[in-house]
Structure 1
Amino acid sequence: MSQSSSQQQLIENHTVDYVPPAERHGQARDLFTLWFSTNIAPLPIVTGAMVVQVFHLNLFWGMLAIVLGHMLGGIVIALASAQGPQMGIPQMVQSRGQFGRYGALLIVFFAAIIYVGFFISNIVLAGKSIHGIAPSVPMPAAIIIGALSATAIGVIGYRFIHSLNRIGTWVMGTALLAGFAMIFAQELPADFFSRGGFNLSGWVATLSLGVIWQISFSPYVSDYSRYLPREVGIARPFWATYFGATLGTILSFSFGVVAVLAVPEGTEAMAAVEQATGWLGPILMVLFLLNIISHNALNLYGAVLSIVTSIQTFASRWTPSIKVRVVLASVILLGCCLVALSASADFIGHFIGLILALLLVLVPWASINLIDFYLIKRGSYDIASIFRADGGVYGRFNAHAIIAYACGILVQLPFANTSLYVGPYANLVEGADLSWLVGLLVTCPLYYCLATRGRGQLVQIQCRSGLDPR
């Protein structure tokens, strides 16, 4: 095999273009390992610790809210993931079939913010982990090392990311279970089961956090299922993604809860993990560091795809090369490192607040995406139109989707309770954000009514174009 051929197999050639059937590979179970391993990491553990430290729930009520929140949100990420094998294109590119070629740009912008935010948060965590393991390494150098490592994986792309997460599922899953065993094998504090209690605002906030955690992956989840053969269908990718994403996050959130309850009140989350797990603590820190780097590559990969999607919107014939991906990844890396190096000590807390605020724009998009794919078009899209400069049958703007999307955001504002904006009716349940529920209940039926009303006209256009109107 030639060197260039080996490179093509190692480094992914496709970016936002359609993956033809002859190049499809893999099995649905790869989605389980990807999303399970990705969520066994410090960020969900730190977030889980907030259930006790910020929302003041006890073990029982905290665990109940965690499980229900992730099980509900997991339905969205699983339905989005199952679209990948049927479409063969990234999630954000697929949005052109719902919002129109230019109408989808706003969604791409919000997705890029999420990718970059997660990337910065994780390189900050990676830097802290490296500095904690090797104090002689200064924090700035540690952050750069973590960022460069994730960038290398992200540039190589799809195959390598899946391979790492197959290994990570066994390693990280075993390590986390061993961590639970170490905690419960030791004498627990007297208030382990009684610390905290039940409060409605904290319980709803925890539930909402679980829902948005899962929904936050939906703008790019099918990027990692689009290489699967179309023949895998809908059910297998759905269940593989659902169980991988929900089990991984529930375990990590729960580990954060248990760890902070097992140490004196007020201990920082990752310090609590190291203290509560005894001799296993330093080993867990090393494994967490490796996993941060591995799964942070997904955020860089998604950010690159978002930028490519944006550029290609205005240059339909442009197909980026591997060198272009490397350049874009390097630019993003430089910008993120500059932000991370100047980040405040409470950056991660502020970022989690931003993610909750982004719920306002993610819920209407997810509603439209799923209603359109499963109920309106039923998985039948004209791929050629999605890549045409004029948007083909989907046009440059789809007024139905844009109107429903705008309404979905606006109806949430009075009920929003975020770090960026608090609405006049935000305290219907004090301290809890219920805007996502309002957005879901309004956007789904509104878009369905608007889209089905205009479906007859679309079918006529498709027929005149010689396309299958199914």
Structure 2
Amino acid sequence: MTTRNSATLSPPRRRAGPEVRSIDWIPAEERHGKTRQQGPFWFLTNFHPMTAALGLIGPGLGLSMGWTILAATAGVLFGTVFLALHGSQGPALGLPQMIQSRAQLGYRGVIVVLFAALFIFIGYNVIDTILIDAGSHTLFGWNKTATGLSIGLLAVVLAVWGHDWLHRAFRVLFWLSLPLWLLLTYGMLTGHAGGHPVPALGFHLTAFVAIFTISASYNITYAPIVSDYTRYLAHSVSSRALILTVYLGASISAIWLIALGAWLGARFGATDPFVGVHDASNHVLGGSGALLVILGGLALIAVMGLQTYSATLTVLTALNCFHPVRNTQWRRIYITVLLGALGTIIGVWVVHDVTAAINNFVVIMLYLLAPWTAVNLVDYFLIRRGHYNVAEILNPNSLYGRWAWRGLTAYGLGVAAELPFMVLTFYQGPLVKSIGGIDIAFVVAIAVAGVAFFILGRSQRAVPDATGQQLSQALSRHEVAQQAANIAVIDTVIDRPGQIAPARLATTAAMEPLVTGEPS
């Protein structure tokens, strides 16, 4: 193929400064990173005291350390399946996670789950702020207001710099904190970490199921953001390798630190994860406790940056549902600042009871996300099998529709099916007592929403794969590739996959597999 001039879809990547992209499609020339780097990244998302805090819940409910660890392990292994499967969608489609859901829920219909996702991102940051504030005040006497404002600022700065800097920060913190967590774990296993058994702990079915549910939800709640951090990978990466890497990273760290938290609760009677980790670590090696909780706090701040970054992408997606907006770098930055400020204000001045917040918040997140993840994964893996028209996902008059009734109906049925089985401190479903008080709501939601969409979705019309020309037009309309005028039109264009016709874009050959979104 000959060209008259060179063409680019976007400016060169500015990896030293704030990220240029937001909710737009990532072209081939900007793809970078390796599958193996996803392991430490998703490992660190759970490698901090917030995860250990979940382990404290079991002993607090009267569940022994062994039963808490078993329930948590089963829950994490189950919940991480959904997290990991979503990860493969990023390289295939080159889009953030939530905007992809337009294919199931419609260009505007996706707003239904966007609010749920935004609630999750901000809520997590509130809880993280409370945990760091409480722990640092107890251990070091730091002023809670000053600490809360400082960690909020650090999280915002990291989110503003964006994707590449988040990956860098996560890798650095992973390697810095790993030796200290290993040292603490060694001390616990050998008896050098101190502590003594807390009496009156045993097995309670309701508590066991509660820990399973909370642990499953912990990684499922990352499902709305996974593609945000895999979308820059090359389309050619192996989907299976990526799924396995994400799965191992996210599950191993979660099981490890929830088990560690269960030990702190059962042997130390700990109620604050920062204080428990600090004291146990000092028993193993004097002075190591302060260093470990500081590194753990920094890891948690990095995760707050991750949540703020994804919250910004969610807001931009929501704004585009009803009125096209220019997704400029500065728009992403000031929305990031506003969201970071909101989470910090709530965490510092509004919410104070972290135990109640964790118990209710994590489960509510699961209730909202379970039917969505079922609909999304059934569509991606069982119905469309990875074939999506990226141009139509970005098109306000999309062939996927503005309000996709099939996906919305399946999601609504999933949420409705949960109501009789929900278990919260302020609400219990009418069928909960009849099944012994255990919480199976999210399992019911996944089954109902998944089956409903599998039945309804098979009757939806097929959307043809996009051509390179269609994608460039969609990018121009979407105003995410702001140099669309620089795209040089050359000799040929793809009329449909596999058949060449005159007038093609220079970059079509490189874009063709990315546009169809076919998984490896």
Q: Same fold (TM over 0.5)?
A: yes
Aligned partner of 1:141 in structure 2 is 146
Which of the numbers 309, 312, 315 marks the counterpart of 1:304?
Answer: 312
Aligned-pair distance for 1:189?
A: 4.9
Counterpart secondary structure, 2:433: coil
Aligned partner of 1:367 in structure 2 is 374
Larger radius of gyration: 2
Asked if 1 retains the 8 angstrom alpha-carbon contact of 2:278 and 2:290, the reply is: yes
Aligned partner of 2:110 in structure 1 is 104
The number of equivalent residue pairs is 458
Aligned partner of 1:277 in structure 2 is 281
Aligned partner of 2:512 in structure 1 is none
Distance 1:380 1:211 in 2: 29
**1:243 and 2:248 are equivalent in the alignment:** yes
User: CA-to-partner distance for each residue in 1:33-52, whole Å, 9 max, x for gaps?
Assistant: 11101211121111111111
Distance 1:97 1:219 in 2: 15
Q: Which runs of 5+ in 1 are unaligned?
A: none
Distance 1:462 1:446, change over 3 A: farther
Aligned-pair distance for 1:213?
A: 0.9
Distance 1:27 1:5 in 2: 19
Which of the numbers 210, 223, 227 marks the counterpart of 2:215?
Answer: 210
Distance 1:141 1:467 in 2: 58
Aligned partner of 2:101 in structure 1 is 95
Distance 2:193 2:83 in 1: 39
Distance 1:155 1:220, change over 3 A: same
**1:289 and 2:294 are equivalent in the alignment:** no
Aligned-pair distance for 1:421?
A: 2.8
Distance 2:429 2:295 in 1: 42
Q: Which has the higher helix share?
A: 1
User: CA-to-partner distance for each residue in 1:219-245, whole Å, 9 max, x for gaps?
Assistant: 111110000001112111101110000
Aligned-pair distance for 1:459?
A: 5.6
Distance 1:36 1:435 in 2: 28
Asked if 1 retains the 8 angstrom alpha-carbon contact of 2:160 and 2:309, the reply is: yes
Aligned partner of 1:64 in structure 2 is 70
Asked if 1 retains the 8 angstrom alpha-carbon contact of 2:26 and 2:232, the reply is: yes
Asked if 2 retains the 8 angstrom alpha-carbon contact of 1:260 and 1:273, the reply is: no
Distance 2:31 2:137 in 1: 41
User: CA-to-partner distance for each residue in 1:309-361, whole Å, 9 max, x for gaps?
Assistant: 11122233x33222222211221122222212223431353243122023222
**1:402 and 2:408 are equivalent in the alignment:** yes
Distance 1:53 1:101, change over 3 A: same
Distance 1:100 1:294 in 2: 32
Distance 1:427 1:214, change over 3 A: farther
Aligned-pair distance for 1:10?
A: 2.8
Asked if 2 retains the 8 angstrom alpha-carbon contact of 1:393 and 1:461, the reply is: no
Distance 2:390 2:336 in 1: 27
User: CA-to-partner distance for each residue in 1:122-152, whole Å, 9 max, x for gaps?
Assistant: 12223334434542x4211110001001110
The within-5 A match list for 1:213-362 is 213-263=218-268, 265=269, 267-278=271-282, 279=286, 280-316=288-324, 318-362=325-369
Distance 1:108 1:226 in 2: 19
Q: Which runs of 5+ in 2 are unaligned?
A: 1-10, 471-494, 498-515
Q: Which moved more, 1:288-297 or 1:155-164?
A: 288-297
Query: TM (normalized to structure 2)?
Result: 0.83
Counterpart secondary structure, 2:429: coil
**1:416 and 2:422 are equivalent in the alignment:** yes
- Root mean square deviation, CA, Å: 2.4
Distance 2:118 2:231 in 1: 19
Aligned-pair distance for 1:418?
A: 1.8
